[in-house]
Amino acid sequence: MILRRTLFFLIGALFALAGLYASSRILLLGLIHFHTDVQLRFWVLALGALTGLVVGLILAPWIMRGSKGMAIFIEQNLQKTPLQDLIAGAVGLIIGLIICNLIRSILIVMGIMGIIAWILITIFVCYLGISVAVKRREELMGIFNNLPRLGKEKGVRSEKKSGIHKLLDTSVIIDGRIADLCESGFLEGTLLVPAFVLEELRHIADSEDVLKRNRGRRGLDVLNSIRKNSKVRVQIYDNKRNLESTGDVDTRLVKLAQHIGAKIVTNDYNLNKVAELHGVEVLNINELANAIKSVVLPGEEMHVQVIKDGKESGQGVAYLDDGTMIVIDGGKRYVGQTAHVLVTSVLQTAAGRMIFAKLRQEESNTTARYDEVNVLG
């Protein structure tokens, strides 16, 4: 309330000063002639100040309401604008003002026309600086990122822009393994979650299908867990400049990755192939899981627990601790038992790794003798 009253009287005072200045200019230019000097001049100045004060007090409520509405509008738009755009726009504005200040001394000698020209040029150059800086914000931020860090040697530089940002797609968020991967520290830089991916997650979480709804809610829980507990920074990317707002999520994700020079983190095989066709780097969680599985070479021996029958006659199936399937030729007789097997070949597919093995020669011979005894006996 005190601030409102202060602003009210401040506006009145400014208008009073404006009225005083206007009346003094009228007297200075000789627009009104007086036969007597001092007293009438004083009353003209007082009348101008009083007129300005009255006008200011009348207009003050409208001015305050308009200023408040404009401040709220600007604040709302600034909150929606990404921080990178604000920084880039500020840098462009500063550069534009510096350029205009350099040409001011040249135009000021042309009088009133030079001042008008300088004002128009300033508005145009500042707008141009802000526009260009916002459109090239990624390159601009890359310049700052590549500057040497304080307190380090001159040759040490920060990460390149292409290795910093990683875009998360819907499938990898719902999968959930990304949270453990972030917690382990294997992922570096900033994880970006596009607004349209978050919107798709919300639609899945609101689905009438129970399974879809649970998957969507799991994805939202995973995101919150990463943001609260992870060592990696997570940011919602809602900048839609120069990007199409139509098309499926995968297409928009690939275009966004191309636009900002980011990598895509996914476990979607089809998205992986589409991104590679567009020249976008992909970090596939499934490929990482396959890569860190234990390496098994043909000729190695191992003890495994045969779990079930295989598809082909006489085959048995076992599994390693990491879930890799082992198909054992002749292992059907050892279902529920431990067998000593010899690896014959390893098959790597997009779905994972599969190991083919056979029983060791001694066990095969023993099994054959038992069969022969059973037949004779």
Q: Give the pLDDT of residue 316.
A: 92
Q: Give the pLDDT of residue 318.
A: 92
Q: Is residue 194 part of a domain?
A: yes
Query: pLDDT-derived band of residue 157, with 50, 70 and 90 as boundaries?
Result: very low
Select from 239, 264, 291 the last residue of a domain: 291
Q: Which whole number is the average pLDDT over 74-93?
A: 77
Q: Is residue 101 part of a domain?
A: no
Rounded Cα–Cα distance for residues 351 and 271 (Å): 15
Instruction: Give the single-character DSSP code of 265.
Output: E
Give 125's Cβ-side CA count (13 Å radius): 17
Give 59's Cβ-side CA count (13 Å radius): 15
Which tens digit of pLDDT belongs to each residue from 120-133?
888 888 888 888 88
Please return the burial class of 364, using the count of CB atoms within 10 Å of its CB with bins 0-12, 13-18 and 19+.
middle
Rounded Cα–Cα distance for residues 341 and 306 (Å): 10
Angle value at C-alpha 15, between 12 and 17, nearest 5 degrees: 110
276 in the same domain as 170: yes
- What share of the chain has pLDDT > 90, as a percent? 3
361 in the same domain as 256: no
**What residues make up the domain containing 341?**
301-376
70 in the same domain as 3: yes
177 in the same domain as 271: yes
Q: Give the pLDDT of residue 151.
A: 41
Q: Is residue 70 part of a domain?
A: yes
Which tens digit of pLDDT belongs to each residue from 68-78?
788 787 777 77
- State how beta strands 325-329 and 316-319 pair: antiparallel
327 in the same domain as 272: no
CA distances from 254 to 91, 141, 199 (A): 29, 21, 17
* pLDDT higher than 90, residue 44: no
Rounded Cα–Cα distance for residues 57 and 63 (Å): 10
Q: Give the pLDDT of residue 362.
A: 55
261 in the same domain as 339: no
Q: Is residue 120 part of a domain?
A: no
Rounded Cα–Cα distance for residues 305 and 286 (Å): 25
Query: pLDDT-derived band of residue 251, with 50, 70 and 90 as boundaries?
Result: confident
Diameter over CA atoms, the chain:
149
Q: List, in sequence order, every residue forming a beta bridge with 316; answer none if it has no partner.
A: 309, 328
Contacts of 253 (CB under 8 A, 6+ apart): 167, 169, 194, 196, 197, 264, 271
Q: Is residue 117 part of a domain?
A: no
329 in the same domain as 244: no
Select from 291, 315, 341 the last residue of a domain: 291
Stated pTM of the model: 0.46
Q: Residues 337, 366: contact at Cβ < 8 Å?
A: no
Q: Is residue 208 part of a domain?
A: yes
Q: Is residue 354 part of a domain?
A: yes
Of 86-90, 162-166, 212-216, 353-357, the one with minimum mean pLDDT is: 162-166
Look up the CATH number of the domain holding residue 287. Answer: 3.40.50.1010
369 in the same domain as 305: yes
Which tens digit of pLDDT belongs to each residue from 287-333?
787 777 777 888 888 888 899 988 888 889 998 877 788 999 888 88
- The letter for the amino acid at 51 is T
Select from 80, 103, 121 the last residue of a domain: 80
227 in the same domain as 249: yes
* pLDDT higher than 70, residue 351: no
Which tens digit of pLDDT belongs to each residue from 181-209?
888 877 777 888 888 888 888 899 888 88
* pLDDT higher than 60, residue 160: no
- Strand spans (E) along the chain: 165-168, 190-194, 233-237, 263-266, 282-284, 301-309, 316-319, 325-329, 338-349, 352-359
53 in the same domain as 24: yes
Of 85-94, 161-170, 180-189, 349-358, the one with minimum mean pLDDT is: 161-170
Q: Is residue 187 part of a domain?
A: yes
Rounded Cα–Cα distance for residues 325 and 354 (Å): 5
Report residue 370: phi and psi, to 5°.
-65, -40
Rounded Cα–Cα distance for residues 356 and 304 (Å): 13
356 in the same domain as 287: no
- How many beta carbons lie within 10 A of that of residue 70, not counting itself? 10
287 in the same domain as 178: yes
DSSP 291-353: HTSPP--TT-EEEEEEEEE-SSTT-EEEE-TT--EEEEET-GGGTTSEEEEEEEEEEEETTEE
Report residue 329: phi and psi, to 5°.
-70, 125
Q: Give the pLDDT of residue 30.
A: 64
* pLDDT higher than 80, residue 271: yes
Q: Residues 357, 327: contact at Cβ < 8 Å?
A: yes
Query: pLDDT-derived band of residue 366, with 50, 70 and 90 as boundaries?
Result: low
Look up the CATH number of the domain holding residue 308. Answer: 2.40.50.140
Structural domain count, the chain: 3
Report residue 263: phi and psi, to 5°.
-100, 155
Contacts of 352 (CB under 8 A, 6+ apart): 286, 290, 323, 324, 325
